[in-house]
């Protein structure tokens, strides 16, 4: 999908080798206005301001992956339709 939309990745980080800390995610939330949280086949949109970190964690207690920031929007978790929409914008 990234190749097809000719999207360039500014930063890539392995969720297993270098998991994000709470402080990392707070800094990321401070840089966006809107967060799309993917859980299974559903995706829900929320404002970043005041969003609880627990909302971004999966059943294992780790942050959902991938986290993709495009402009002032953040996709947390994998949701192909939303990812494609973000990359087209």
pLDDT tens digits, one per residue of 12-69: 888 888 889 999 999 999 999 999 999 989 999 999 998 999 999 999 899 999 999 9
Based on the structure, what is the number of domains in the chain? 1
Q: What is the pTM of this model?
A: 0.85
Is residue 62 included in any domain, yes or no? yes
Is residue 12 included in any domain, yes or no? no
3-class secondary structure, 76: strand
Range of the domain at 54: 33-88
Rounded Cα gap, residues 77 and 52, in angstroms: 16
Is residue 41 included in any domain, yes or no? yes
Is residue 79 included in any domain, yes or no? yes
What are the b/e assignments for 21-45, b being 16+ CB within 10 Å?
eeeebeebbeebeebbbbeeeebee
């Amino acid at each position: 999908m990234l190749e097809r939309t000719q999207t360039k990745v500014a930063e890539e980080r392995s969720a297993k080798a270098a998991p994000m800390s709470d402080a990392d995610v707070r800094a990321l939330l401070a840089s966006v206005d809107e967060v799309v949280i993917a859980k299974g086949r559903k995706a829900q949109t929320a404002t970043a301001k005041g969003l609880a970190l627990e909302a971004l964690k999966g059943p294992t207690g780790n942050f959902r992956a991938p986290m993709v920031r495009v402009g002032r929007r953040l996709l947390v978790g994998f949701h192909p339709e939303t990812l494609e929409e973000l990359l087209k914008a």
